[in-house]
Amino acid sequence: MTPFETIRGALSESGIDDCAAIPLSAVKIPKKYLLDRFGLSPESACAVMAVIPYYTPFCEGDRNISAYAVGKAYHLFWKKVCDAVLPGLKVAFPLNTFVGFTDHSPLAEVNAAACAGLGFVGDNGLLIPPKYASCVFIASIITDAPCEDGFPAAIPQTPPTCPHCGACRRACPTGAIGRDGKDAVCLSALTQKKGVLSIREEELLRESGSVWGCDVCQEVCPFFKKAKKENTIMTKIPFFYDDPLPCLTQEVLDRMEENAAKERAWFWHGRSVPARNAALIAKNDRPKEDRFQ
């Protein structure tokens, strides 16, 4: 088997069914130093991009955190995948280098995945594979092994984009999407902001009812609605069904042990940020369905 076929087969064994390759020379590389650490060159290396669906039935119904954070942090899943896959690749292709990345990546991941043919870029900046809507994580295995058989038939100079229906822009709680959002802050970013919040920022958090993240722009997207209707949005990966936590309160934070908390995406800045948000949300007595109306 070719290197790409081997990688694709190994990822499939971990439940990842959607991957494609792209030469690094065709994508944006904002953190080249991460390639330099492993002696990989943008001129000769390529990336096998993978989309990892995370949406489960536990993301439905009442929750106060983003759907991506309901399960355990996906970085843990990708580490398990890499621990299982990379040693075998190095044995099969001993003259080549294979390195796994996600989130902290040398690549502009959305750009690379879209150029590889795995979806298109929404006006909210997220990758949208039609089957899963934007409810995916992006990961990559970067290698200097030849993976041309995984390249798209025609590599675009710029990534494909969504049809620009405007639904996400109109629904954005802070006006952060599109031309009107020059001075606006994404609500998801606001829920993750450290330090002291302004009075307006506190009001936005109370109004949102969100302790961590925001899914408004995703949930109004026609592709999200279509994926739910056709029941393709749900992940089949067992990891994301393990120990779901749709609602995060101060009580939950207080009783959660440190090691368990570290397995959650919302623990990125420690307990203080979600605890602050939970306290603000607790002061809002307005029904959730009335917020932002």
Query: What does the pLDDT look like over 101-129, one tens digit per residue?
Result: 999 999 999 999 999 999 999 999 999 99
Residue 173's pLDDT is 92
Residue 62 annotated in active site? no
Residue (of 163, 174, 182, 156) closest to 123 by Cα position? 163
Joined tokens for residue 226: 């279509």
Region 50-68: mean pLDDT is: 96
Helix axis angle, 3-13 to 74-92, nearest 10° = 140
Region 89-93: mean pLDDT is: 98
Count of residues in the chain: 293
pTM confidence score: 0.93
Joined tokens for residue 65: 């955190």
Instruction: Encode 80-92: b = buried (16+ Cβ within 10 Å), e = exposed.
Output: ebbeebbeebeee
From 36, 103, 149, 242, the catalytic residue: 103
Region 87-96: mean pLDDT is: 98
**Sheet containing strand 46-53, strands side by side:** 18-23, 46-53, 136-143, 98-102
pLDDT(5) > 70: yes
Query: Rounded to an integer, what distance in angstroms lies between the CA atom of residue 206 and that of residue 218?
Result: 20
Region 19-43: mean pLDDT is: 97
Residue (of 162, 156, 161) closest to 23 by Cα position? 156
Region 258-262: mean pLDDT is: 95
- The chain-wide mean pLDDT, for the chain, equals 94
How does residue 269 score in pLDDT terms, banded at 50, 70 and 90? Answer: confident
Region 237-256: mean pLDDT is: 96
Q: Quick one: CA torsion of 225, 229, 230, 234, rounded to 10 degrees?
A: 80
